[in-house]
Amino acid sequence: MRTRRWILCAIVVAAFGGSYALKRSLAKRPEGGLPPERGASRVVSLAPSTTEVLFALGLGDRVVGVTSYCTFPPEALTKARVGGYYDPNYEAVVAARPDLVVTLPEHEEIRQELVKLGLKPLTVDHTTVRGILASFTTIGAACGIPDRAAGVRSELDARMKRIADRTAGRPRRRVLVTLGTMAGEESMTRITACGRGGFYDDLIGLAGGVNAFDGDIAYPALSVEGVLATKPDVIIDLWPDMKERGMDADAIRRRWKGLLGVTARVCVIGESHSVVPGPRIVLLLEEMERAIHD
C-alpha cells in the first residue's frame, strides 16, 4: 500500500498525506462566466498533468486555481493555490468560483464532494498515452475550443508517430523504467519499476523497446535479484527531483554499476516532466528513444 500510494505521489512530483476536512457549509457556485457556447471560463485543475494540458491549449487565462504541486509552466505559479493532489482545500476551490474543475480517475471521493458543493467536475484519464491525447479533446470541448484542441493533439500525435516510425525497424531491446529511489529507500535494495499497461509501457513501445517487466503489477517494487530477473538491456532511471537532492546522473549511474550482476546500459532522466503524464511526454519519449538506441 505504501508503495502504491508513493507511486501516485511520484506522478505529481510529490509525496504527501491524504487527509482533509470537509467543507459542507460552503456556498454554491455563483452564476456567471462566458456564455455556454464559449465553454468554461473559470477552471480549477487538481493535478499537475491537467494544468499542463490547460496551458498547452492556451487556456492559462481561464485557470483560476491549481494544486500546490503545479509548477509548470512557470505561469502556473502565479495562480491561486487550492491545496494538494489528495487533499484539496474546498473553501479555496469554491472561492475561485470555477465553472469547471478538472480531475483524474483517482479523485473519485474528491469528485463526490465537489458535486455536493454545486461544482462541475470533468474527469480525464492520464494513465495511458491514448488517454493523455484524448484529454486534449475532452478539455477543449468543455472550454469551447475544439478546433484548437484538435490542432494541439494532432501536433503531439504527429511528433510521437515520427518517433515510432523511426524506431520501427530497430532491434527491440528490453527496457526497464525505474522511478529512482524516491519511495524513501536510500539504498538500492528496493527499486520501483514501471510495469505493463500504463503510459510508461506505451512510451517504451513507441520508443522502439519492449518492457522488461512482464508481470501484471503496475508499479512493482523489485529487489536487485528482481531487477536481474527482468534481463534488461537498458535501464531508464527517472529522477524528477535529482537536482533538488544534490545528485547528478554520473553518481546515479555509479550506484547502478555497483550492483552485482547489473550489466544493462543505464540512462538517467532528471527532469520533472519524467513523471508528469501531460503534453511533455513527447520530451520523455524523445529521451527514451535516445536511451534505447544511441
Cell (9 digits) for 39: 465553454
Beta pairing, strands 265-269 & 234-238 = parallel
Whether the per-residue pLDDT at 12 is higher than 70: the answer is: no
Q: Which of 12-26, 41-55, 218-232, 243-257 has the highest mean pLDDT?
A: 41-55
d(CA 145, CA 38): 8
Estimate the crossing angle of helix 199-206 against helix 129-142, to 10 degrees.
110
Whether the per-residue pLDDT at 205 is higher than 70: the answer is: yes
Domain spans of the chain?
Answer: 17-159, 170-293
Determine the pLDDT at residue 241.
86
Determine the pLDDT at residue 186.
55
The rounded mean pLDDT for the chain is 87
Strand segments, DSSP code E, in the chain are 43-45, 63-65, 100-103, 121-123, 173-178, 191-192, 209-211, 221-222, 234-238, 265-269
User: Which residue has 512557470 as its cell numbers?
Assistant: 74
Grouping H, G, I as helix, E, B as strand and the rest as coil, residue 88 is strand
Determine the pLDDT at residue 206.
96
Are 79 and 100 a contacting pair, CB within 8 Å?
Answer: no
d(CA 61, CA 130): 27
Least confident interval from 9-23, 64-78, 278-292: 9-23
d(CA 172, CA 190): 27
Whether the per-residue pLDDT at 269 is higher than 80: the answer is: yes
d(CA 19, CA 86): 8
For residue 67, the one-letter residue type is T
Q: What residues are paired with 177 via a beta bridge?
A: 236
For residue 26, the one-letter residue type is L
Nearest CA to 45 out of 7, 91, 80 is that of 80
Mean pLDDT in residue range 228-249 = 92
CATH, domain range 17-159: 3.40.50.1980
pLDDT band, residue 294 (cuts 50/70/90):
confident
d(CA 138, CA 219): 27
C-alpha distances in Å from residue 278, one per residue of 27, 111, 172, 282: 32, 21, 26, 9
d(CA 112, CA 130): 26
The pLDDT tens digits of the residues spanning 161-201 come to: 999 999 998 999 999 999 976 444 556 778 999 999 999 99
Q: Does domain 170-293 have CATH number 3.90.25.10?
A: no
Q: Same topology for domains 17-159 and 170-293, yes or no?
A: yes
Are 280 and 13 a contacting pair, CB within 8 Å?
Answer: no
Q: Percent of the chain, pLDDT > 70?
A: 85
d(CA 261, CA 224): 9
Say what the pTM is.
Answer: 0.86
Determine the pLDDT at residue 187.
61
Q: What residues are paired with 211 via a beta bridge?
A: 175
For residue 201, the one-letter residue type is D
Cell (9 digits) for 266: 543505464
Tell me phi and psi for residue 137, to 5 degrees: -65, -45
pLDDT band, residue 15 (cuts 50/70/90):
very low
Which letter does DSSP use for residue 81 in this model? Answer: B
C-alpha distances in Å from residue 112, one per residue of 68, 120, 135: 21, 10, 21
Nearest CA to 115 out of 178, 28, 36, 17 is that of 28
